[in-house]
Amino acid sequence: MTRFRSFPLSVQLLLINQLTINIGFYMLMPYLAAHLSGGLGLAAWAVGIVLGVRNFSQQGMFLVGGALADRFGYKPLIVAGCVLRTVGFALLGVVDTLPALLIASAATGLAGALFNPAVRAYLAQDSGERRIEAFALFNVFYQAGILLGPLVGLALTGISFQVTATVAALVFAGLTVLQLTALPQRVAPAPADAVSGWRQALANRRFVLFALAMTGSYVLNFQVYLALPLEVRRLLGSGWQATAGVAALFAVSALITIAGQLRITAWCKARWSEQRCLVTGLALLATAFLPPLVAPGLVSMVLAASLLGLGTLITVPFEMDTIVRLSGGQRVATHYGLYQTICGIGIMLGNLGTGAALDAARNIGVPWLPWAALAIVGALCAVAVHRLDLRTPDRSLVTA
């Protein structure tokens, strides 16, 4: 708490904001598919469309959200995102037709595209020379929200999904009021129209190459939601034991971040360059898939989740800071938006490849295939980042 209070009020509000955003989001989203299929009786294809629209409207619009934040300022986009998610979550609790559900789902995704780049750019601007420390603390609050949200949602969904949706909407309504009244306005350095911002970001060769090289890290980290849970369910069946096992994977990853983020970030920063920290984190992400490759089993799944958590907590603060440095401190939200869009496309393609590898592993009897492929992806990403020139000078961020 001492470190938290040492930052400006705006940074403190952004950290609380992200914690609450994740609590509100994760108290509802893990239970949405069950509500759509069981509560509303939608077919599996319809559930897939509703969930897919939410993901596409967020990942596909990050670039737009970032450009708007640079053009109109960070606070308006953060507030607009919270308002939109309030409406989207409220609708999810009351509508029951597919068109209405698609509108509500799109609203919740677009909300994330509006406030995510703005929050990160605002945090970078107001934390100044303490950016890496601020990003480390940001990841602690981020993971705490992921850990707490499903627990709150589990209790509320035990009453009804409508109660969960209403409470989640109220959380975002409260965030909207808090930010309207307490969050200072910030204008981005060198605001400009969206097209020129996109051109600048796309023309930044080092930045684009860095985004492409780091995409694999998102594919690997996403396996906490895909490959690892599927393997746990294969090992434990479909009962409560499997549900508890999957929950343990999320808890292990989040608790490692909450407990070790600040100390490990400080240790790495004091001893290594940012580039070496990134390469080390990526190497750990790659090694996370060696335990299930060598000795498949539940212990290997937990160890893989632990190494994924450790690798991610090492990379995140230095990754976020590198984006700011490579942008030169100009149109930072646009750069974040483009970065998240590139990584979002990578996650989609990576999940298709992982799914194909998992199917092949079952069909042709090669259980080691997906784990070997994921380990190779991590190793290639580490080599790519090691070979990049990331020594772009960091121009001073202008505070407005």
Tens digits of residue pLDDT in 241-285: 877 888 888 889 899 999 999 999 999 999 999 999 999 999 999
| Other beta carbons within 10 Å of 181 | 7
Q: Which residue has the higher pLDDT, 398 or 216?
A: 216
Check pLDDT > 90 for residue 340: yes
Residue with tokens 């606070």: 75
In the chain, the largest separation of any two C-alpha atoms, in whole Å, equals: 60
Please give the pLDDT value at position 365.
Answer: 84
* Contacts (Cβ under 8 Å, ≥6 apart) of 171: 20, 23, 24, 27
Q: How far apart are CA 300 and CA 377, in angstroms?
A: 19
| Other beta carbons within 10 Å of 96 | 11
Check pLDDT > 80 for residue 82: yes
Residues of the chain with CATH 1.20.1250.20: 9-182, 192-388
Convert the pLDDT of each residue in 191-208 to its tens digit: 667 778 898 999 999 999
Please compute the mean of the pLDDT values over residues 358-362 and round it to a whole number: 85
Report which of 175, 192, 204 is spatially closest to residue 73, judged by C-alpha positions: 192
CB distance 351 to 222 below 8 Å: yes
Please give the pLDDT value at position 396.
Answer: 42
Residue 102's H or E segment, with its range, is helix 98-127
Check pLDDT > 60 for residue 393: no
Question: How far is C-alpha 283 from the geometric centre of its chain's CA atoms?
Answer: 20
Please give the pLDDT value at position 397.
Answer: 42
User: Among the listed ranges 169-183, 288-302, 307-321, 382-396, which one has the minimum average pLDDT value?
Assistant: 382-396
Please compute the mean of the pLDDT values over residues 363-392 and round it to a whole number: 92
Check pLDDT > 60 for residue 395: no
Domain at 192-388, CATH class: mainly alpha
Please give the pLDDT value at position 400.
Answer: 33
Q: How far apart are CA 85 and CA 172, in angstroms?
A: 7
**CA dihedral for 84, 218, 312, 371, sign (positive or negative):** positive
Q: How confident is the model at residue 349 (pLDDT cuts 50, 70, 90)?
A: confident
Domain at 9-182: CATH code: 1.20.1250.20
Please compute the mean of the pLDDT values over residues 352-368 and round it to a whole number: 86
